[in-house]
Structure 1
Amino acid sequence: MRADAARNLAEVLRAGARLLAEDPSTPLSAIASAAGVDRSTVHRRFATREALLSAVFEAKLDDAERVIDEARLTEAPVPVALHRYVEGIIPVSRAWPGDTRRMMRADPAAERRATEQSARIDAFVRRAADEGFLRADTSPAWARAVLDQLVSTATYRFPDMTPPQAADLVVDTLLNGLGR
């Protein structure tokens, strides 16, 4: 793909993610305008809003998978891996906002990828519990729900907080709030 075409596609996906998160009925022409491209450019690439949503979801999954891989959840010390994950996933969540559950139901392959990614995070939280970073009376399912909520809160309620600052706060809250 040519550099300008790749840049245009990235702008369309980002604009689509932002606008469709705000209003799922946003027309493709409005997304094209926000992306700074011609409407025909968007329509040539995406025949429907659902096709664009699917591409947005795939881009979000790609970025999330990169963050999970780079966090080294199975190898790095738990606090380090947790910080890497949170610091990386907050920008991904900010760049690709919106409820993706609807797309997961419509795209079995994307749902499978999202489920696999979630399982990797679940395994990491179990590892944190097994290694004594969480209180013994705290279920990993509860800790995972708390982690997700902390990340969501840092991402959306505190948009001016930098990812490293947010990661510091989330890690401290999770490990010390639920820690021994």
Structure 2
Amino acid sequence: MRADAERSTARILKAAEVVLADEPGAPLERIADAAGLARATVHRRFSSRKALIDALTAQLNERYLLGLKQARVDSAPPLVALHRLTEIIFELKINNRFAMNAAANPATGAPRLDPEVLNGLDLLFTRLHAAGVITAAGPAWCRGVFLALLHEVDQLPADAPVLAGTDGGTGARIDLLARTVIGALGGSASPA
């Protein structure tokens, strides 16, 4: 039964991300239909809309943690880790639009992240500083700049002047973000 319940929960979360990205106010019943499950199953797994959104946010934080691990922020050359993490986070933003928006700070658009995720980001910026890639020494400040710029770069229209000469796609945004973050934090290195 447990494996079946886990599969149902995964289906619900996947359907919720798709449905809520298109219609943020969609009822749980619509999510049940999209998941191909009975409404009672959704209500049994998630007693309220808030419980479902909390689960999407928790899943997003787990994906951030996995991204930090995949980018090897603790061991890869810091500039490479920054670029790889930026790729991973843009992929998260594309595939988890609703969860990103639901977890975002309304003032900055930056996601509210678990302390473990914040610590991983801080480690990356501490390592970038130690390697001389950036001059800004405060990892929390660096993290805030990164997350705020991430939101702004993501919101750019494909024809934005700052993306001129590119296809305006994800690759161009990743490069723009990495260069801008490094420049904003007192560095001059160009990401590889």
Same fold (TM over 0.5): yes
Unmatched 5+ residue regions in structure 2?
106-111, 159-167
In the TM superposition, residue 100 of structure 1 has moved relative to its aligned partner by 2.3
Q: Which amino acid aligns with 2:147?
A: D
**Corresponding residue for 1:98?**
101
**Corresponding residue for 2:143?**
144
User: What SS class does the counterpart of residue 47 from structure 1 fall into?
Assistant: coil
The whole-number CA distance in structure 2 between the counterparts of 1:134 and 1:17 is 36
Checking the alignment, whether the CA contact within 8 Å between 1:22 and 1:98 is kept in structure 2 is no
**Corresponding residue for 1:12?**
12
In the TM superposition, residue 73 of structure 1 has moved relative to its aligned partner by 0.7
In the TM superposition, residue 175 of structure 1 has moved relative to its aligned partner by 1.8
The whole-number CA distance in structure 2 between the counterparts of 1:29 and 1:133 is 50
Structure scoring higher RCO (CA < 8 A, sep ≥ 6) equals: 1
**Corresponding residue for 1:168?**
175
The whole-number CA distance in structure 2 between the counterparts of 1:61 and 1:135 is 28
Please give the root-mean-square deviation of Cα atoms over the aligned residues, in Å: 3.1
| Structure with the larger helix share | 1
**Residues 1-180 of structure 1 aligned to structure 2 (within 5 Å):** 1-2=3-4, 6=7, 8-17=8-17, 19-20=19-20, 26-96=26-96, 97-100=100-103, 114-135=114-135, 139-157=138-156, 161-162=169-170, 164-177=171-184, 178-180=186-188
Q: TM-score, normalised by structure 2?
A: 0.70
Distance 1:5 1:168, change over 3 A: same
In the TM superposition, residue 32 of structure 1 has moved relative to its aligned partner by 1.9
Q: TM-score, normalised by structure 1?
A: 0.74
Identity of aligned residues (%): 31
Checking the alignment, whether the CA contact within 8 Å between 2:12 and 2:32 is kept in structure 1 is yes
The whole-number CA distance in structure 2 between the counterparts of 1:95 and 1:143 is 25
Unmatched 5+ residue regions in structure 1?
103-110
In the TM superposition, residue 5 of structure 1 has moved relative to its aligned partner by 6.6
Count of aligned pairs between the two proteins: 167
In the TM superposition, residue 80 of structure 1 has moved relative to its aligned partner by 0.5
The whole-number CA distance in structure 1 between the counterparts of 2:129 and 2:74 is 13
